[in-house]
Amino acid sequence: MKTTRTLLAALAATLLSVLPASAADKVEQWINLAPKDTFVIIALKDTPELLTDWDKSAFGQFMQDEEAKRWLEPMKEDGEMPWDKYFKDIYGTGLHDTLKEGRGSTVAFVTAKDAGSFEKEEVGFLAFSELGDNEARLIDQKKQDFEHDKKEHPDAKVSTADIEGVTVNMCAEGGKWHDAYAIVDGVIIEASDRANMAQGIAALKSGGGDAPAEIREHFGRLSQLREGIADVTIYANGTRIFDLVKQGIAAAEKKGGDAKKAAPNPMGDIKPEQILEAVGLHEIKGFAITMDFADDRSRSDVMVFHPEKPAGFLSWVASDAKDVELPAFIADDVASGQVSRVNWLKLYDGIMGMLTKISPQMGMMAAMYLGGFEQQNGFKIRDDFFGSLADENFQVQDTDGKKQSDVIGLKVKNADKLGTALKGIQNALGGMGFAAFEESDYLGYKLNTLKAGGGGTGAGAMPEIAYCNTGKYLLIGSGTLDALRKTLGRMKDPSGGSIWETPRAQAQMALLPKGFNGLGVADSSKMISTVFNAMEMVSKQAATQKKSAVKKKGPGKGPAKGGDDTKAADDASDTLAKFVDSKNRPSDATFQKYFGTMMSASYSHPDALHLQMLSTPVEAR
C-alpha cells in the first residue's frame, strides 16, 4: 500500500511540471528512454489541453451539476473531493487549479528489478517532463513536495548529490529516497531511486536508452492503428509482467520446500506455469488503453498485442472477418445493442485442447465425462450444439429504469440439430434437479421459460430465463423478458427504426475505420443509470441481509452475533454509501442531459486486437 501511495504521489507531482511543445514528438522520443525493466508506462500528451477538454466533456460538466454535487456529497473529505484535498494539502490549490499551472507532455515509467521488488516495496519510478516558462513555479512546487514528504517521514532530510554530472535534489531517509528531481536541458527528471535517476539522466543526455525493442514496436504500432499519439496513454508490457509472475511463482515454490512430499495428484504434477502457458497468458505481449478528447467527440482505444498466430485463448476471440451483419430487428429505443463474431467450434476445441495441455489426464477425464453426458442425453455437444451455431452473434440490453432486460442471439446454421441439443440440455437440467422449462407461444414462436421456484419478490426476485430457437437464431433472455419479447416482435414485424439507423449512430459510424468485425451502440444515459440502479439494489439487498442476520437468535437469549455473513452485508451496504447519497440520486433527465450515444467497434489485426469507442460530447451551452 505504501508503494502505491508513493507512486501516485510521484505521478501527481510529475503532472505539475509539463510544458507544451511538439507534445506528440516528445512522447515518442521519451518512450525510447524507457528503462529495460519497465512494466508500465503512463503518457500525457498535453495537460492544459486535457484539462480544457475535460471541462467541456460530459463527465466534466456532469460533475459541476448541482444534482451531481448533492449525489456525490458522501465522497467529500472536510467539504472537498479527496483529490482536491490531496492537492490542497500539498500545494494550497485543488487538482484542477494546480495542474493548469503546468503545460505540455509527460511520460512516466514504472519499473521492477524482479518479483521481490513488490514485497520489498522497491517498485521504481522515472518520469520526464519539460519545464518551459514555469520553471521557477514548478521548482517551488517540488519544494512543497519535499515539505510534505518530511511531514510524513520526520527523519527524512533534503539534500543534493552529483549524479552523472548533474545536481540532483532529493528528500531521503538514509539510503531510501522519498522524492527526487534533476533538471537537464529544460527537462525535469523525477525518480524513486539513484539507479533510475542515473539511467534517466544518461538517457536524456545521449538521446537513447535501454527501452526494450518490443515496447518501442508496440508504441509505434499503437500510433499507427489509432492515427497518432493519444491525449492519455496507459500501457503495460505483458512480456515483462509475465516474467515477473514466473519469478514470483518460482520464489513461492522455493519457499514451499516440502510441497513435493505431498500426496500425488491423480491429474499429474501440474505446475502454475503449465496453466499460464496452456491458457496463453504469455501471448499477451502488451496491453494499452488510450483516451482522446476533442470538441466534437471523445475517443478511447483498447489494444492487446499478441504474436501473429496465437495458440491460446486469444485465438478464440480473434476473427479473420472484416464485416458483420447489423440486424434491423434491434430497435432504436433499447439501451444498447451489439453484434460480434465468435467461432464457437474453435472456442470449444480450444478449451478441450487447453485442458489436455494442462494435464493429459485431465483432458482424458473431461472427454470421458462429456462422452457419458452425451450418451445419456442423446446429443453431441461439439457437433450438435456448437457445430449448429454460426459465428455471428448479437446482444441487446434494455431497462425500464429499475430492472434490466437482456437477450443474447446466436445465429443458427442447423436448426434441427440445435433443437435436438436443446432438448438434451433440458433433459440434463431436469436430471440435475433444476426446475423444468415451460413451453408457451409468443407471436408464433415457441418460448421456453425456466420455472424458478421461491424466487422472492421486489429487489430480491430471481431473474427470468428463457430461450427460443427461431430457426435463424437461438435467443436467450434474462432479467425481465421484455427485451426478448421486443426482439421477437421486431423479427415478426421489422417495421420501425433500427439502433444502427439513428442520426447520431450514423454520424459516429462514419468516423470509424472500415473492417470492423464487431459493433456496439449504447444510450449512455440509460446504461449509466442502469449501473447505479444495480449498485443501489445490491446495497439494499445487503442492508436487508444485515437486518435478517441481526434478528436470528443464537443458542442463548437475544440476537445472534454477526459472523462473516453479517460483516459481508455491512461491507456491501456501506461501500456505496461512501461514494453516493442514494436519496439524492440525479434524475433520469439529468443523466440524459449529459450523456448521449456511445459506439464501439472491434478489429482483429495480425498482431493485435483493437477496440475503439466513440462518444458524442455535450454540446457547448
Q: Where residue 201 sits, what CATH number does that domain have?
A: 3.40.1000
382 in any annotated domain: yes
For residue 544, the model assigns a pLDDT of: 63
424 in any annotated domain: yes
369 in any annotated domain: yes
Rounded to two decimals, the pTM is 0.86
Q: How confident is the model at residue 13 (pLDDT cuts 50, 70, 90)?
A: very low
Domain stop point among 267, 288, 317: 317
Domain that holds residue 334: 327-499
For residue 16, the model assigns a pLDDT of: 42
Between strands 445-450 and 437-442, the pairing is antiparallel
In a shared domain, residues 541 and 492: no
For residue 566, the model assigns a pLDDT of: 55
- When mean pLDDT is compared across 15-19, 364-368, 520-524, the lowest value belongs to 15-19
Q: How confident is the model at residue 10 (pLDDT cuts 50, 70, 90)?
A: very low
pLDDT tens for residues 530-545? 777 777 776 666 666 6
In a shared domain, residues 154 and 218: no
pLDDT tens for residues 81-105? 999 999 999 988 888 888 877 656 8
Quickly count: other Cβ atoms within 10 Å of residue 382's Cβ.
Answer: 14
- Would you say residue 455 has pLDDT above 80? no
Q: How far is Cα 321 from Cα 419, in angstroms, rounded to an integer?
A: 27
Mean pLDDT value across residues 460-489:
91
- Across 10-14, 107-111, 297-301, the highest mean pLDDT is recorded for 107-111
In a shared domain, residues 463 and 406: yes
512 in any annotated domain: no
129 in any annotated domain: yes
Number of domains forming the structure of the chain: 4
302: enclosing H helix or E strand = strand 298-305
In a shared domain, residues 203 and 236: no
In a shared domain, residues 236 and 279: yes
Q: How far is Cα 259 from Cα 261, in angstroms, rounded to an integer?
A: 5
350 in any annotated domain: yes
For residue 318, the model assigns a pLDDT of: 86
For residue 2, the model assigns a pLDDT of: 45
For residue 375, the model assigns a pLDDT of: 96
In a shared domain, residues 33 and 171: yes
For residue 5, the model assigns a pLDDT of: 43
Mean pLDDT value across residues 279-288:
96
364 in any annotated domain: yes
In a shared domain, residues 428 and 454: yes
pLDDT tens for residues 347-401? 999 999 999 999 999 999 999 999 999 999 999 999 999 999 999 999 999 987 7
pLDDT tens for residues 570-617? 555 567 788 888 888 888 788 878 877 899 999 999 999 999 999 876
Mean pLDDT value across residues 151-178:
94
86 in any annotated domain: no
- Would you say residue 452 has pLDDT above 90? no
In a shared domain, residues 132 and 222: no
pLDDT tens for residues 376-388? 999 999 999 999 9
Q: How far is Cα 246 from Cα 377, in angstroms, rounded to an integer?
A: 43
In a shared domain, residues 35 and 122: yes
Mean pLDDT value across residues 195-212:
92
Q: How confident is the model at residue 177 (pLDDT cuts 50, 70, 90)?
A: very high
Q: How confident is the model at residue 208 (pLDDT cuts 50, 70, 90)?
A: confident
Mean pLDDT value across residues 259-263:
55
Mean pLDDT value across residues 518-525:
91
Burial class (CB in 10 A: 0-12, 13-18, 19+), 540: middle
Mean pLDDT value across residues 93-119:
85
Q: How far is Cα 373 from Cα 591, in angstroms, rounded to an integer?
A: 49
In a shared domain, residues 300 and 358: no
**Mean per-residue pLDDT of the chain:** 85
In a shared domain, residues 107 and 23: yes
For residue 190, the model assigns a pLDDT of: 95
Q: How far is Cα 322 from Cα 602, in angstroms, rounded to an integer?
A: 10
Domain stop point among 297, 317, 337: 317
| DSSP codes of every residue in 88-144 | HHHHSS-HHHHHTTS-SBEEEEEE-SSTHHHHTT--EEEEEEE-GGGHHHHHHHHHH
Mean pLDDT value across residues 43-66:
85
Q: How far is Cα 69 from Cα 80, in angstroms, rounded to an integer?
A: 11
Domain stop point among 454, 482, 499: 499
In a shared domain, residues 141 and 201: yes
